[in-house]
Structure 1
Amino acid sequence: MRQVYLDYNSTTPLAPKVKKKIEEYMNGQFGNPSSLHSFGLRAREEREWAREKVAQVISAKDSEILFTSGGTEANALAILGVGRKAGKEGRKHILSSPIEHPSILKCLEVLQKEGFQVEFLRINQDGVVQLEDLEKKLLPHTALVTVMAANNETGAIQAIQEIGRILKDHSACFHCDAVQGLGKMDLDVNMLGVDLMSLSSHKIYGPMGAGALYVRKSVKMDPLIPGHQEKGLRGGTENMISLVGFGEACGLLLEKDIHKEQRRIRDLRDGFYQALKERFPFIRLNTPLDHSLANTLNLEFPRWEGERLLFALDMAGIAVSLGSACSSGSLSPSHVLTAMGRTP
């Protein structure tokens, strides 16, 4: 039976060149990058090569990239690290959106229990943050603003550059969860005006177990895992096998014309939607096609139960998702669609 995989926002397959790079590393390297001997030196060289590739993809400096185990840890380090540091100075106000990834929302819940005030910005029916609400709710003691680049469920793209302009002269740190946007949109950290940006390897044909957090030099934060690695902000021996794969995946992005590829994918997606709409005129569209990731299409089938449809498609060899991969085990309605005003 032919299989069709349509869940790339959950994870991507390993690119052949990435797999080759990992195999080459595994066959010849095993040193700890913290060791002082030649084995450690070679591992450090590979680690810094990977750091350079990640930095180049978002137009950052190598020194501004911290390696993590993935996007979830990068988000936690940004939110908890910056939040707790600012909290010691009495700044305990945070702004975010109600459609963030679960890994963001869980961290915000943790900080709320620690006495932080978390406010959520209004979004429109397309799931886009209303900038005037940000200007209204931004306070002198706001410590952090965290808004994702693009939504993993609907694909809606946020006005990150405009948010960056609003925060330019404010003391609040601006964090952007760009895990879903990497490889699909421009993510120049300087043009966007972000202070922190979360990235993940397995969304761009790299291996699971590797991620990164961009941290602007001026940002002050506490570590989650104490240790000497990653400038003392992320202790623990690095996952070198996944990191070299991450570096290779970023290198492949640098060779690709992202805009041309996204136009091709957008044409496929829009054509697919029109074909579905003709066959099933009752379906409802949740993805704003004119300002969304080119690969993402979120649809409602009002007459059918979601789980039954998913399993039926799976039995037919077609893999889709009901929502975020980090919460798809739950039968609760999507928090993203609920925030957008959609009813189950």
Structure 2
Amino acid sequence: MVYLDNAATTPMSPSVIDAMLEVMTNHYGNPSSIHNYGRDASKIIRQSRQTIADILEVPAHDIIFTSGGTEANNTALIGYALANQDKGRHIITTSIEHHSVLHATEYLKKRFGFEITYINPDENGLITTNTIKNALRDDTIIVSTMFANNETGSLLPIKEIGEILKDHQAVYHVDAVQVAGKVPIHPKELGIDFLSASAHKFHGPKGIGFLYSDSNKFDNLLHGGEQEDGRRPSTENIAGIVGMSQALIESSKEYDKNFSYIESLKEDFLEAISDLNFYKNEFGPTMPHVLNLGFPNQNQDMLLMKLDLAGIAISTGSACTAGAIEPSHVLSSIYGENSPKLKENVRISFSEYNTKDDVDKLANKLIEILGE
């Protein structure tokens, strides 16, 4: 079996599983309880929060635990917009965002009358700083972009956007789900006010993530308790929090090594299929972890089915749209809605757990299938 769909989710690290098992076995108290079991659980959460904060180089209080990237994105966008309507009702984002951002902004538009500007990629498939700058208005209160696209790996100009917002009232929200745990991220250096991350993208468990919030005023999406200083009521997922913390510790120790290794896997794979007829859906600087390819006149669904039958897992795009018949909204925004390229693309995504043998097996199977 070969798993190359790491942009959807990654396998959990053995040390993460061990850390979670130890917590589930020995530290099962409710963190809100005042007895010894509760205090023990609360201490573990504080330690994990501090660990994550130290890696991001931010105050521990600015880390809010969530159920994942979708909740973090919704909290930042909806929570901040509703709490700051007196400053303006205009939001800027891009047409290539994850649906948890696009649907959240559409909700704000339809339910509360916010005005949303969606920035489209330019003729080179890029989101540029100037297009963001030109879209800014006096009543803009949020700019939201992803750090790297989940379908193409394209990196957005995060630091440059943060720079132009220094003298503007708008806060900057960054969906870093595809980047957290893969490269160092220091929100304060980048001018980021809100940052979303999800543990299962960097070998942690599913169902846990965090939102970095630079002490901005925002409305809660949940109500009912004082957990997370009242910002995210709900009994904390202690095992998940510990697992996420452990996963980020592991990843942060090997940033450069893992990045270089994945670059080599990508290069080896492209070399192995160099005789095939394909093109790269690659736009500007990219994360090597995600490779989006198009095979002319090859139906993506048939290709994925044949690979799956051979025990090889890749995808056509975001896992959150799995089973949907719509073409990629990311590639649609670049090529146009009627482009034949929308039906012939596949996404291959690597992690440091993959081997050269994995990419060779995929390459050989593609050569076999496309040579039929």
- Asked if TM exceeds 0.5, the reply is yes
Identity of aligned residues (%): 39
TM-score (normalised: structure 2): 0.88
Distance change in 2, residues 1:18/1:152 (3 Å): same
Q: Is the 8 A contact 1:57 1:253 kept in 2?
A: no
Unpaired runs of at least 5, structure 2: 343-372
2:158 to 160, 168, 189: 160
Return the offset for 1:169: 1.1
Amino acid at match of 1:314: D
Q: 1:238 aligns to what SS in structure 2? A: coil
Is 2:20 aligned against 1:22? yes
CA distance in structure 2 between the partners assigned to 1:98 and 1:214 by the alignment: 23
State the partner residue of 2:282: 287
State the partner residue of 1:39: 37
Q: 2:335 aligns to what SS in structure 1? A: coil
1:232 to 230, 233, 251: 230
Amino acid at match of 2:282: T
Q: 2:291 aligns to what SS in structure 1? A: coil
State the partner residue of 2:331: 337
Q: Is the 8 A contact 1:126 1:287 kept in 2?
A: no
Q: Is the 8 A contact 1:49 1:247 kept in 2?
A: no
Is 2:213 aligned against 1:215? yes
Q: Runs in 1 of length 4+ with deviation above 6 angstroms? A: none
Q: 1:314 aligns to what SS in structure 2? A: helix
Q: 1:175 aligns to what SS in structure 2? A: strand
TM-score (normalised: structure 1): 0.95
State the partner residue of 2:56: 58
CA distance in structure 1 between the partners assigned to 2:92 and 2:77 by the alignment: 11
Q: CA RMSD in A?
A: 1.3
State the partner residue of 2:270: 273
Encode CA deviations 1:204-245: one digit per residue, 9 max, x unaligned. 10000110000002x111000023111212111011111111
Task: Report matched runs for 1:104-253 at 5 Å.
Answer: 104-113=101-110, 114-125=112-123, 127-217=125-215, 219-226=216-223, 227-253=225-251
Encode CA deviations 1:110-169: one digit per residue, 9 max, x unaligned. 001110000012323554312111111101110100000000100000110000000011
Is 2:75 aligned against 1:77? yes
Aligned residues: 336
CA distance in structure 2 between the partners assigned to 1:90 and 1:42 by the alignment: 42
Q: 2:116 aligns to what SS in structure 1? A: strand
Return the offset for 1:109: 0.8
Amino acid at match of 1:55: A
1:327 to 321, 331, 334: 321
State the partner residue of 2:360: none
Unpaired runs of at least 5, structure 1: none
